[in-house]
Amino acid sequence: MRVLGIEGTAWCASAAIHDTETDEVFIESNAYEPDSGGIHPREAAEHMSEALPEVIDTALAHAEDDADPGGIDAVAFSRGPGLGPCLRTVGTAARAVAGSLSVPLVGVNHMVAHLEIGRHRSGFEDPICLNASGANAHLLGYHDGRYRVLGETMDTGVGNAIDKFTRHVGWSHPGGPKVERAAADGEYVDLPYVVKGMDFSFSGIMSAAKDRYDEGVPVEDVCFSLQEHVFAMLTEVSERALSLTGNDQLVLGGGVGQNDRLREMLVTMCAQRGVDFYAPEPRFLRDNAGMIAVLGARMLAAGDTVPIAESAIDPNYRPDQVPVTWRGTPAPSPGPTDTPTNAESNTGATAGLTPIDRRGAEATVETVADDRVRKRRVPKDYRHPALDATLRRTRTTLEARLLHEARRAGVPTPLVHDVDVPNATLILQHVGTTDLADEITPDRVREVGAHLARLHRAGIVHGDPTTRNVRVGGDSPLLIDFGLGYHTGHVEDHAMDIHILAQSIQGTMTDPDPFVAAAESGYAAVGDADVLDRLRTIEGRGRYR
């Protein structure tokens, strides 16, 4: 089977032929390079109109040259997300070619294509995907017929954030490769570091980077530190997603994935965690029609074609909207990687308390006495040592303080018996019998919603209230792991806490709605209505900018 793929969501006019017999992927691309500034939607669309016919002709000619000339079985095209004027040009071209060859049309989600190309090339069964592209940044995991968004940028895409900084210093588009080159001669300076559960944001770090540059910090140092912070954030949230879902494979997608330092960090994190990692070669990372043709072929084989009359493009097409028709019955979930490993060999637990020996995303937690656990934030080899030391120290201090303050606000948490900041270690009361994720009920989630509202009333956010950061088995669920918490009275920060809880439920459960509704009703019973209103705004934000 041979599929013609057509791509043109923003800057790259591209056509490809995927031959499923040989697995060969022929790609022909023509990049739009703005004279000044960033991508102008109108100019980009003009580029598509000019360049697409040529790249499509070249791809079709390649198919003609083959042993079996002319045999194209379908035309797959990027249906979204992307710039509307560009997508319309791509859609028109795809319909015209499909019509003239009398073959079916396949409408491909560009973001899912960035993920599936890594899955296809690696042969991984069920990976988490970090997509690090220009207009997007998110973590996807497959669950029950859909790709779920486990975490994503709360403002701009990662490439666009970097490109905005390079525009500020007067460098031409695209900025990512220039930052990578300049970083080779740079030294570390402190910048903001913002992760919220598995979500993250770039606006603070980007304005700080511009300020440092304006203050006279050498541009090489700013570039080096930008990479160290931004890519450590992406690596950290990837590890959090692996820990939450229990998956043991990670693939990378998107144009920023061409960056050596990002790939190095992901390789190091996965090796330290014992997880398989795969990054496709650069021609499949940056925008390209090869990934559209490859996913198009899988969709075609599943009968997932679209009639011309229904083939409208969608500039805001989210990956979690796509019914995943081409994956068979999912492999049984491997189970969380942080389940006890040597429970039996551990002694000293009192009746009712199972000894613990776990590795979360950040820390190891082990039973050290009848009713005590030691939580140690282990050094992360992927992070710059200065950033690593700062994060482990500040999170340990914050966690100890906020656990205490939360309890005073009426929210059950473990007692803190000892704090050793230089070693990033806490001795905590052993609480609960299992994580909420393992024994989730709507009633328990409702109580967690109410606990979050109590925290917020006391001016605290948890920062990472996933279903693995709640312990159950006693009277009321207990909140643990306050390392990403902080003091704030902002409605937006409070709404983010509920968003993170909801995302962890939606990312891992087959029928999440009753649980999410329970979380909100628990919150509503104690907290401010404003917060739930803001939650709707957060959920409704189109983040493809």
Ligand X SMILES: Nc1ncnc2c1ncn2[C@@H]1O[C@H](COP(=O)(O)OP(=O)(O)OP(=O)(O)O)[C@@H](O)[C@H]1O
135 marked as binding residue: yes
163 marked as binding residue: yes
- Say if CB 429 and CB 415 are below 8 A apart: yes
How far apart (Å, rounded) are the C-alpha atoms in residues 500 and 380? Answer: 24
Query: Minimal distance in Å, beta carbon 136 to ligand TXA?
Result: 4
Query: Minimal distance in Å, beta carbon 270 to ligand X?
Result: 15
The correct pick among 29, 133, 413, 467 for binding Fe ion (CB under 5 A) is: 133
DSSP line for 14-47: EEEEEETTTTEEEEEEEE---SSSS--HHHHHHH
Candidates 257, 200, 253, 251; CA nearest to 229 is 200
Active site residue 464: yes
Contact flag: residue 72 with ligand X (CB under 6 A):
no
Interacting partner of 361 out of ligand TXA, ligand X, Fe ion, none (Cβ under 5 to 8 A depending on kind): ligand X
Supply 189's token pair.
């300076």
How far apart (Å, rounded) are the C-alpha atoms in residues 115 and 92? Answer: 25
Give how many residues touch ligand TXA by CB under 6 A: 26
The correct pick among 9, 29, 78, 243 for binding ligand X (CB under 6 A) is: 243
State the binding string over 69-98 for ligand TXA (x if CB under 6 A, else -).
------------xx----------------
Burial class (CB in 10 A: 0-12, 13-18, 19+), 311: middle
Contact flag: residue 201 with Fe ion (CB under 5 A):
no
The correct pick among 85, 177, 459, 473 for binding ligand TXA (CB under 6 A) is: 177
Closer residue to ligand X (CB): 301 or 415: 415
How far apart (Å, rounded) are the C-alpha atoms in residues 192 and 194? Answer: 6
Contact flag: residue 286 with ligand TXA (CB under 6 A):
yes
The correct pick among 199, 388, 435, 520 for binding ligand X (CB under 6 A) is: 435
- Write out the H or E segment, with its range, that includes residue 151: strand 146-152
DSSP line for 407-466: HHTT-----EEEEETTTTEEEEE---SEEGGGS--HHHHHHHHHHHHHHHHTTEE-S---
371 marked as binding residue: no
Query: Minimal distance in Å, beta carbon 95 to ligand TXA?
Result: 20
133 marked as binding residue: yes
The correct pick among 161, 195, 428, 440 for binding ligand X (CB under 6 A) is: 428
Burial class (CB in 10 A: 0-12, 13-18, 19+), 443: exposed
Contact flag: residue 183 with ligand X (CB under 6 A):
no
Query: Minimal distance in Å, beta carbon 435 to ligand X?
Result: 5
Contact flag: residue 287 with Fe ion (CB under 5 A):
yes
Query: Minimal distance in Å, beta carbon 11 to ligand X?
Result: 36
131 marked as binding residue: yes
State the binding string over 338-377 for ligand X (x if CB under 6 A, else -).
x-----------------x-x-xxxx-x-------x-x--
User: Can you give 299-330 as a three-state secondary structure string?
Assistant: HHHCCCCCCHHHCCCCCCCCHHHCCCCCCCCC
Summarize as ranges the residues that interact with ligand TXA (CB under 6 A): 9-10, 81-82, 110, 133-136, 157, 159-160, 162-163, 174-177, 180, 254-256, 258-259, 286-287
